[in-house]
Amino acid sequence: LNLRITKNITHEIPSTIFGYMWEDINHSGDGGLYGELLQNRAFQGVIPGTQNALNAWQSYNGARLSVTSKTQGVSKALPNSLEVKIPKVATSLIGFENTGYWGIKVQEGWTYKGSLYAKSDSYNGPITVSLKSNRGTTFASQKLEGISSSWKKFEFQFKPTASAADENNVFNVVVDGSTAAGKTLHFGMFSLFPPTFKGRENGMRMDLAQLFADTSPGVWRFPGGNNLEGNSWDSRWKWNETIGPLEDRPGRVADWGYPNTDGLGLLEYLNWAEDLEAEPILGVWSGISTQNYSEFSTWPIVPEADLQPYIDDVLNEIEFIVGDANTTWGSVRASLGRTEPYALRFIEIGNEDQFQQDSYAAYRWRDFVDAIGAKFPQMEFLATSLPSLALDPPYQRIDFHQYNSPNWFIDNALFFDSYPRNNTKWFVGEYAVTSTNETNALDTLTNGRLAYPTLQGAVAEAAFMTGMERNSDVVFAASYAPSFQHIRSYQWTPDLVTYDAQRFVRSTSYYVQQMFSVNKGTHVLATEPTPSNDTAPLFWSASFNNETDVVYLKVSNTGETDLVANIFLDFASTGTVSAVSLGTPPLSPITGHFNISNTLEEPELITPTIFNMAIPFLDRFNYTFPATSVTILGIQSP
Ligand code: AHR
């Protein structure tokens, strides 16, 4: 292939072009990005008296545990508490433990901040809290004094004297059996935080947050996904129940099979997007729950006559985010410590409303857009129905999701080249290679579904991403999904990053996201030829960064043989070219097998290689793009 990179700028690249979609799925929030270490910390979204309500809690030395709402809870929002009955015959230390999110990382040098509420009508002795290993080693411990018959919040710190060998550790709470025998204690709203990303209170797990930050995402779509919608209207994600003191957040029975604490709430998300310097795309509830997805559903869609309260709720939410401190909801935000309004431009009306297009087209889209547009004329709206559906008012931005096979992504790498330039813009708000199954990309693992992203899949995603970047005059944003997976409890594969309480692995797709996002141009450059079916299996996009004077050539070789390109430059170069390339490891016995993944057991099987080349001619060079690889060349111009 002879490939000329011209000086001709075709258009500017929006800063939003690459980023992530976010919702709590796979314990991506609770047990993942959210720093809280104790699972089921406030017994939210559980049924008192059931064994399930005790999830992640266990008795220590024979105390009898149950979750109850019969005694008053620590707050109106948190009516459930842990009832601990000490048997009449008890002598040694006795109590209970929390096993964390399938373990707790114990790190020497860290300061852990903890708290709990306790009360007892019959016991007023000391309570000892500790971080311990399952095998009984104590890493840190503290005595709490002053329990009485009304709720009291106890705060404590742990500074472990050693790191634990693994994640098999617990948070242990005990009293002395000889003084507590026959007595009953109640506990509620526990919390234990390690140091967090940027030191934020109620913040993010440092290593996982850093993984996102390392990719410099331009966009952050939240809070879902299905998890925005709820299994029913009432269990939708309610923004106003995710703000304020943790004691005021009831949590919810969420969409993905586990309760959400909502500790990661609206303000945490907005602060997080700011920390990442990623532009938020806010999804707002549009009158359907996931119950409505089935054609046999008897659950109604909110009729137009009943929609106004939900529209008002969204208006309040937006005012909370962008209103100044003199507005009703802006003042609530200010009272929570954030005076300055947040920057918010994009409002997405619903999620995957293609499943209920009729009511969307009839009134739901219009009623939300009209009301929000009247109050916040600066907002831009994203529709979530099929791109082919006409809406009134006509949509200008559409979010349409793509989970599919490697072949689908390769076959569609040129899709946006022929997208009509008619002032509508596209957001690929969820996408990933999920399967090698060409007919059902969301089927089971035994039918082709991927457990982890593969090299083959990541290369196919990269081919599609070159198409999005090349056509970023119409594709204004894209967000990979889902992002996170706790390996001990998940609902969806593959995911960008997989982890447990201690370890994590960056997938091949993670590296592609990072390579594309970090090596970002500001303008697309025309190439000759442009990629076409004739130039497959090579797909590319060229861009120029006018702050650094670097020309980027992003190339995906989706074929199974190495391909050489003669690259010609229409601009002056300094003769240095940097390359970052993801492919099968050189000299590896696995070369030639592309269905390979980084896993928790083998986290660094496939990592990008980075090197610099001096080119003999300043206006041309040859480059061999290895079989099934993604390469980004950075050509420095003077
Ligand atoms: O990303 C997982 C799910 O896929 C999202 O919640 C939903 O929007 C899509 O169907």
Per-residue pLDDT reduced to its tens digit, 485-500: 999 999 999 999 999 9
Domain residue spans of the chain: 2-13+522-636, 19-35+202-401+481-518, 52-193
DSSP 592: T
Region 315-333: mean pLDDT is: 98
- Say yes or no to pLDDT of 76 above 60: yes
> Which strand (E) or helix (H) includes residue 629?
strand 629-636
Residue nearest to atom 5 of ligand 1 (CA): 225
Region 61-80: mean pLDDT is: 98
Check residue 309 and give its pLDDT: 98
Q: How many angstroms is it from 427 CA to the middle of ligand 1?
A: 15
Percent residues over pLDDT 70 in the chain = 98
Region 179-204: mean pLDDT is: 97
Helix (H, G, I), strand (E, B) or coil at 559: coil
Check residue 616 and give its pLDDT: 87
Region 576-590: mean pLDDT is: 78
- Say yes or no to pLDDT of 394 above 60: yes
Specify whether the CB–CB gap between 279 and 220 falls below 8 A.
yes
Q: How many angstroms is it from 614 CA to the middle of ligand 1?
A: 45
Helix (H, G, I), strand (E, B) or coil at 408: helix
Q: How far apart are CA 606 and CA 432, in angstroms?
A: 18
Region 226-245: mean pLDDT is: 96
Residue 226 Cβ inside 6 Å of ligand 1? The answer reads yes
Check residue 590 and give its pLDDT: 57
> Which strand (E) or helix (H) includes residue 332?
helix 328-335
Do 2-13+522-636 and 19-35+202-401+481-518 show the same overall fold?
A: no
Test site for ligand 1: of 24, 229, 352, most ligand atoms within 8 A of the Cβ: 352
CATH of domain 2-13+522-636: 2.60.40.1180
Q: How far apart are CA 605 and CA 508, in angstroms?
A: 9
- Say yes or no to pLDDT of 408 above 80: yes
Query: φ, ψ for residue 143 (rounded to 5)?
Result: -100, 135
Helix (H, G, I), strand (E, B) or coil at 105: coil
Residue 495 Cβ inside 6 Å of ligand 1? The answer reads no
Q: How confident is the model at residue 592 (pLDDT cuts 50, 70, 90)?
A: low
Residue 115, beta-bridge partner list? 155, 191
Residue 24 Cβ inside 6 Å of ligand 1? The answer reads no
Region 317-338: mean pLDDT is: 98
- Say yes or no to pLDDT of 591 above 60: no
Q: How confident is the model at residue 617 (pLDDT cuts 50, 70, 90)?
A: confident
Q: How confident is the model at residue 587 (pLDDT cuts 50, 70, 90)?
A: very low
ipTM for the predicted complex comes to 0.99
Check residue 221 and give its pLDDT: 98
Residue nearest to atom 8 of ligand 1 (CA): 225
Q: How many angstroms is it from 151 CA to the middle of ligand 1?
A: 40
Question: Which residues, at least 6 apart from 563, have a Cβ–Cβ distance to it below 8 Å?
Answer: 1, 537, 538, 557, 624, 625, 627
Percent residues over pLDDT 90 in the chain = 95
Residue 492 Cβ inside 6 Å of ligand 1? The answer reads yes
Specify whether the CB–CB gap between 500 and 486 falls below 8 A.
yes
Q: How many angstroms is it from 355 CA to the middle of ligand 1?
A: 12
Calculate the average pLDDT of the chain. 96
Check residue 585 and give its pLDDT: 65
Dmax of the chain from CA atoms? Answer: 88
Per-residue pLDDT reduced to its tens digit, 409-432: 999 999 999 999 999 999 999 999
Q: Is 135 exposed, middle or buried (0-12, 13-18, 19+ CB in 10 A)?
A: exposed
DSSP 341: P
Question: Which residues, at least 6 apart from 246, have a Cβ–Cβ distance to it below 8 Å?
Answer: 42, 189, 191, 202, 261, 263
Residue 608 Cβ inside 6 Å of ligand 1? The answer reads no
Check residue 589 and give its pLDDT: 54
Q: How many angstroms is it from 485 CA to the middle of ligand 1?
A: 14
Check residue 539 and give its pLDDT: 98
DSSP 235: T
Query: φ, ψ for residue 240 (rounded to 5)?
Result: -75, -10
Test site for ligand 1: of 24, 449, 492, 493, most ligand atoms within 8 A of the Cβ: 492
Check residue 32 and give its pLDDT: 98
Atom of ligand 1 nearest to the CA of 403: 4
CATH of domain 19-35+202-401+481-518: 3.20.20.80
| The CATH classification of domain 52-193, taken from the options 3.30.360.10, 2.60.120.260, 3.40.50.2300, 3.40.50.720 | 2.60.120.260
> How many C-beta atoms lie closer than 10 Å to residue 555's C-beta?
26
- Does pTM surpass 0.95? yes
Atom of ligand 1 nearest to the CA of 226: 6
Residue nearest to atom 4 of ligand 1 (CA): 225
Q: How many angstroms is it from 499 CA to the middle of ligand 1?
A: 20
Question: Which residues, at least 6 apart from 193, have a Cβ–Cβ distance to it below 8 Å?
Answer: 35, 36, 37, 112, 113, 114, 202, 203
Residue type at 415 in one-letter notation: F
Residue nearest to atom 6 of ligand 1 (CA): 225
Q: How many angstroms is it from 227 CA to the middle of ligand 1?
A: 8
